[in-house]
Amino acid sequence: MALSLGASASGSIQFDLAGVDQYGTGLNPIGSFESADPGAQIDSISLIDGVLETFSNTNTPNFADEAILAVQLADADGDSILYYFFPFPNQSAFGQFGPVNLTVDLLDAGYYIPEDGVVNAFAASVWDDGSGDPAGTWLGGVLAINLVPAPGVLAIFAGAAFTGRRRRRPRN
């Protein structure tokens, strides 16, 4: 399992993908992070410098467009949901792919950090080649869950911007 890199405090929760295997037999845990911001709204999910290598274990290759990354979140009612996305759409080939950088905007989707504050991340392949071996391995990258800034943080940023723009008079 990869380590969680980041703290939240209305910033982002980051998971290191280096060395994470993905299988076609189910979700492989990337990591788990206990946020100090339970109930915080999710702004977006980003993949930063993601590099994936897929394998041909049974002479039938695992394609990059079969790879998924998933995060366990909560909806507005507090019910658990598994949000997933395909980081390499339209890559019907095997080998090494990336680095790729992408951001999925989730602000209007209404997803939140679960009430217990625990965020789990997973990797998988949607195709099982039957070998039992990994379909691919993430060689690098960061999966980031970006939070909507808390109102207090926004006030601090606004105050800093106001202070920084103050006109200064020269002294004679």
pLDDT of the residue at 16: 99
Residue 117: inside a domain, yes or no? yes
1 domain residue, yes or no? no
Looking at residue 84, its pLDDT comes to 98
Structural domain of 49: 12-164
What local confidence, expressed as pLDDT, does residue 55 receive?
98
Q: Quote the pLDDT of residue 154.
A: 44
Locate the DSSP E strands across 55-135. 67-74, 80-85, 96-105, 118-125
* Overall number of domains in the chain: 1
Q: What are the φ/ψ torsions at residue 87 (nearest 5 degrees)?
A: -75, -20
What is the predicted pLDDT for the residue at 73?
98
What's the pLDDT score for residue 150? 73
Model pLDDT, residue 1: 45
Residue 4 lies in a domain: no
pLDDT value at residue 21: 98
What are the φ and ψ backbone dihedral angles of 163, each rounded to 5 degrees?
-65, -40
54-80: pLDDT as tens digits: 999 999 999 999 999 999 999 999 999
> Do the domain assignments include residue 127?
yes
Distances in Å between the alpha carbon of 87 and those of 7, 15, 36, 147?
24, 15, 28, 20
What's the pLDDT score for residue 102? 97
Q: What pLDDT is stored for residue 63 in this prediction?
A: 97
| Phi, psi torsion values for 29, nearest 5 degrees | -60, 130
- Residue 6 in any domain: the answer is no
Assign residue 156 the CATH number of its domain. 2.60.120
Asked if residue 45 lies in contact with residue 145, where contact means CB atoms within 8 angstroms, the answer is yes
Examine residue 86 and state whether it is found in any structural domain, yes or no: yes
Residue 160: per-residue pLDDT = 46
Ranges of the chain whose pLDDT falls below 70: 1-10, 151-172
Q: What is the pLDDT of residue 169?
A: 55
Is there a domain that residue 3 lies in?
Answer: no
Residue 147 lies in a domain: yes
The CA distances from residue 148 to 22, 34, 35, 47, 119, in Å, are 29, 17, 14, 17, 15
Residue type, 17: L
